[in-house]
Chains A and B, each alone.
Chain A
């Protein structure tokens, strides 16, 4: 489970999150919604353990979280399958698993391509595949559907919900939150409630 207890975060000395509290039970799904710049990404980064709160407490699952960042963050010198395999054993033994994850996202045939040879949408799918193969208790997704068309969005949503893990999603789109069956944590102009 993930729990924010009265959490305030000030990256770079500027207060972005103000006394945020919520709880995400195991298997629960929560969408963080609000306008650009309201602190959705900051909240997700704090949830992932990349930012320390200057007030309050964050309880995370023991194994940590798998994260799909806003940008794909693929290693440019690794192929698509090597990027996914990186979070597995990073040996030939787990390459089939990496390939299967890519195939599930419609990337059969792109396994041996480098990120620079992939479109933005394909790179994003590689990043999603990488997060899914980690099979963590918590999946953090920062606008994962950007650059994906309708059919692919559905397929990605199915794969995510099929994992049964907790999901923390940042999005602008109500229908994306709905596709994942998320409860909504909304920005009220001051904080998330």
Chain B
């Protein structure tokens, strides 16, 4: 079963790479090789870049910014969700704000935030803003979905607040939080890199993408984009793996 899935994934990957190679060949035959470098050339360039200290410095800077943004979003999202569930007035106040944040384009936010913050902090802020509504909505749903019967049990057993939080609320919220992370990591990463492209911080992957486009270095543009994609997948796997381990320790919370 699992082997079949791996083969299907590899087959799909091979198909898309072949399509990319075919398109690159057509462009090359028409004398427009600049528009679409072949996958082999992009992979070679990525490997070449990966051998430089500059690549890792820029990559780590971008990872740091986006991770900080995600952490801020997670903390604020969980806090805001707890407030909204506890106090209806907070929910009435925050729900429309979350809708506005969710509907505002990354570019608008990036340009606005650039006016208020140093450019190095803009991607942090954008990642956080884009991910915040997702975390907030999922954690709200998780808290509201906590089994009332278990809360009654906690009440008659006189369990303390900390025990109720740790033993009932936390495991109830974890699947929603994991689901939020699943969709938010990729989203936050893409938003953060988009913000870097728009605001061009000194050391960032976004800056390299911007400069590659500016100087028409399409192979570099593709290589940096590929690096962004690979890192997005790797970060998502790492984080979800950690959440999965956490939930396995609690009897396998579904969804994590």
Residues of A within 8 A of B (CB): 48-50, 64-67, 69, 71, 73, 75-79, 86-87, 90, 114, 116, 130, 134
Contacts and interface: CB of A to CB of B under 8 A. Distances in A.
A171 to B, nearest CB: 19
Nearest to A48: B156
B103 interface: no
Contacts of B252: 77, 114
Interface in B112-168: 149-150, 152-153, 155-159, 163, 167-168
Nearest to A134: B157
B167 A86 contact: yes
A15 B153 CA distance: 24
Interface of B: 149-150, 152-153, 155-159, 163, 167-168, 171, 247, 250-253
Given A71-B149, A75-B150, A65 B156 contact: yes
Q: Which of A71, A73, A77, A130 has the most CB of B within 10 A?
A: A77
Contacts of B158: 64
28 contacts: A49-B156, A50-B155, A64-B156, A64-B158, A65-B156, A66-B157, A67-B153, A67-B156, A69-B153, A73-B152, A73-B153, A75-B150, A75-B167, A75-B171, A76-B251, A77-B171, A77-B251, A78-B167, A78-B251, A86-B157, A86-B159, A86-B163, A86-B167, A87-B159, A90-B163, A114-B252, A116-B251, A130-B157
A77 B150 contact: no
Contacts of A69: 149, 152-153
The prevalent SS among residues of A at the interface is loop
B46 to A, nearest CB: 42
Q: Which of A50, A69, A76, A116 has the most CB of B within 10 A?
A: A76
B251 A114 contact: yes
A73 B251 contact: no
B244 to A, nearest CB: 14
A150 to B, nearest CB: 28
Nearest to B156: A67
